[in-house]
Copies of this chain bind each other. A is one copy, B any other.
Amino acid sequence: MEVQLSTIEAREYMPGYLGKMVHGQNMTLAFWEVTRGAVVPEHSHVNEQIMQVLEGEFELTVDGVAKTYKAGDLVLIPPHCPHSGKAITHCRLMDAFSPVREAYT
């Protein structure tokens, strides 16, 4: 199965978070366009998550520790680990989740 990023419909899954989802059998790739200042409240989930900053700066708080990440930075968030985020600038992010992120299907 193949898909072009340009043809996936973006949805605003949270205020300021426009996402394009690619779901496989074992994992989900999420491509985000994030408005400056937009916040993800603290949450956790069964899925392991690897976040990659593609463009801009994003503050991620993992297990209570906040840090700002920029293009080329990757953060591994273990299953069930509480995390939250805030876009310091407009940014583009990619998240990989495993297993599939059911909340975004």
Contacts and interface: CB of A to CB of B under 8 A. Distances in A.
Contact of A75 (B1, B50, B67): B1
Interface residues of A, number: 28
A27 B25 CA distance: 12
Q: How many copies does the complex hold?
A: 2
Given A2-B69, A69-B2, A98-B98, A50 B29 contact: yes
Nearest to A71: B5
Interface in A45-97: 47-48, 50, 52, 67, 69, 72-76, 78-79, 96
Main secondary structure of the interface of A (DSSP, over half): strand
Given A22-B74, A22-B76, A76-B22, A96 B2 contact: no
A24 interface: yes
